[in-house]
Amino acid sequence: MPKLPDDCQTMAEVRAGVDALDRELVALLARRFGYMRAAARIKPSRDAVRDEDRKASVIAAAVAEAGAHAIPADVIADIWERLVEGSIAYEFGEWDRIRA
């Protein structure tokens, strides 16, 4: 198990921690995209896939969470913009695939 950031004494320890965390993040993103597959299955029409109000809400929540953790809100906003747009594109693809 990698060391926590404050316990790292070497760059090798830092890199091991980052690499382990990246694997965890990808696993969490895989679960998030699973929810996008579920949404594509549940939504009754293709027009329901894009929801700008929901998109804004998701990004705002991530920015607020960034503030609570004292990490750069602007970076989180940029990451979540890309994540949500990628999720929407994925959901469109899944919606089309399911109904093909």
Does 86 reside within a domain? Answer: yes
pTM higher than 0.85, yes or no? yes
Query: What are the helix (H) ranges across 1-100?
Result: 11-42, 52-68, 73-98
Domains of the chain: total: 1
Residue 100's Cβ-side half-sphere holds a number of Cα atoms within 13 Å equal to: 7
**3-state DSSP call for residue 4?**
coil
CA distance 81 to 76: 8
CATH number at residue 86: 1.20.59.10
- Structure-model confidence comparison of residues 1 and 88, the more confident one: 88
Does 2 reside within a domain? Answer: no
Q: What's 49's DSSP letter? A: S
Q: Name the residue range of residue 86's domain.
A: 7-98
pLDDT tens digit string along 45-78? 999 999 999 999 999 999 999 999 999 999 999 9
Does 91 reside within a domain? Answer: yes
CA distance 33 to 38: 9
Residue with tokens 């919606």: 95
21 token code pair: 């965390």
Does 63 reside within a domain? Answer: yes
Amino acid at 55: K
Does 54 reside within a domain? Answer: yes
> How confident is the model at residue 1, as a pLDDT?
87
Amino acid at 51: D
**Given a cut of 90, is residue 99 above it in pLDDT?**
yes
Does 94 reside within a domain? Answer: yes
pLDDT tens digit string along 17-56? 999 999 999 999 999 999 999 999 999 999 999 999 999 9
